[in-house]
Amino acid sequence: MKNKIFALVLLASALMGCGTRQGAESATVPGPGFSSDENGVSITPGSPLSAKLKLAVTAPQTIDIQLKTTASVDFKSGSVAEIGLPFGGRVVRAFVRLGDPVRRGQALFEVNSSDYMEAVKTYQESKSAADLAAANRQRKETLHRSGMLSDREWEEVCAEARNAENACELARRSLALFNVDPASVQVGEPLRVVSPISGRVVRNDLVIGAFLSEEEESPMTVADLSRVWVTANVKASQATGLAPGQTVTVEIDAEHQVEGQIFYVGEILDERTRTLPVVIECENGQKLLKPGMFVTAVFARQAVQVLAVPASAVFQGRDAKFVYVQDAPGHFKRVPVQVESLEQGLQRVLSGLSAGETIIADGGIYLSK
């Protein structure tokens, strides 16, 4: 019995050994069919790998490009006003609340300020002095014409009137800093701060009785959001063909979008992002676009002539992307390139390649070890 069991074990071992050798033989594959060095790769003569490589000659081609990029919403220039004070003062009364619509010149709040009262007093005193000097000059002019007033005395009268007028004008300009009509001011009355634009109160941090200094942040903001700016940062190569007046679709979400027109195409490249700002002006009657919001800007399709290669021709190296360029029959060097993605499985070549070069358009994956 033991002999039979031993015989079976030997037979099984023999069969396993045969199976292993047969499996090893069937798993044997041909070599890679190429050799690689620091200069590139060389295809072994007669290698079946040659049939798997698809070569192409680079050439400019016209492509219909759809530019789509993230953008941000901002206030239109001149449509937002930070309501602050160029002086210190105490808030004594408010006329509007957060969200209220306001008109240009409408009173927003009142402030008691010693600086303002002093400016009003100086203006009214200088105006009275200027009116008196002007009346005196008119009266003395008749005497000068009749010879009863000497030329020297007449010149003194005119100089006094001019000095009074200059002092009054200086006081009027000082009062203008408070954005008030000098003809309507009264000594002792608080300053009424008015809105310089029409719009809506979008921020209101006023506290009745609080003292505001000129160094503090503006306590109120008025903005007109009927039209806004949407700014998209576009690569210089993608900005070709963009011009003011062109229509752009601004996608807010999957269900909402608005139309806008290009207002300005930047002319100075941002050194940090290497992009140009493209400002799109949009009507915002429904207030769907809110400053600070991120949206998607979809530009009209444009046909551009570019040097493009298939995405299958571009590989990621250790330091940069590269393509295989044929520099001799059966030999291909790795050439670093800068590319950007296009539609239809293409890559736009920004640098590294020129038209007329032969590249491996497909199959280059087989040259990786």
What pLDDT is recorded for position 147? 84
- At residue 254, the pLDDT reads 87
Query: Model confidence over 297-343: pLDDT tens digits?
Result: 999 877 778 899 999 999 998 889 999 999 999 899 999 999 988 87
The per-residue pLDDT for range 86-136, each reduced to its tens digit, is 788 899 999 999 999 999 999 999 999 888 888 889 999 999 999 999 999
Instruction: State the DSSP code for 25.
Output: H
- pLDDT score at 369: 61
Domains and CATH numbers, the chain: 34-64+305-367 (2.40.420.20), 68-78+225-300 (2.40.30.170), 80-113+190-222 (2.40.50.100), 114-186 (1.10.287)
Tell me the C-alpha distance between 126 and 369, whole Å.
Answer: 92
User: pTM above the 0.75 mark?
Assistant: no
Which tens digit of pLDDT belongs to each residue from 350-364? 899 999 999 999 999
What's the confidence (pLDDT) of residue 231?
Answer: 97
pLDDT in tens, 261-309: 999 999 998 888 889 999 999 999 999 999 999 999 999 877 778 899 9
Residues 333 and 366 sit within 8 Å (Cβ to Cβ): no
pLDDT band at 182 (very low <50, low <70, confident <90, very high): confident
Residues 6+ apart with CB under 8 A from 76: 224, 227, 228, 229, 281
What is the helix (H) or strand (E) element at residue 302, kind and residue range? strand 302-310
Q: Which of 320, 328, 317 is nearest to 358 (CA)?
A: 328
Q: How far, in Å, CA of 192 to CA of 64, rounded?
A: 58
pLDDT, the chain, mean: 86
For residue 343, the SS3 value is coil
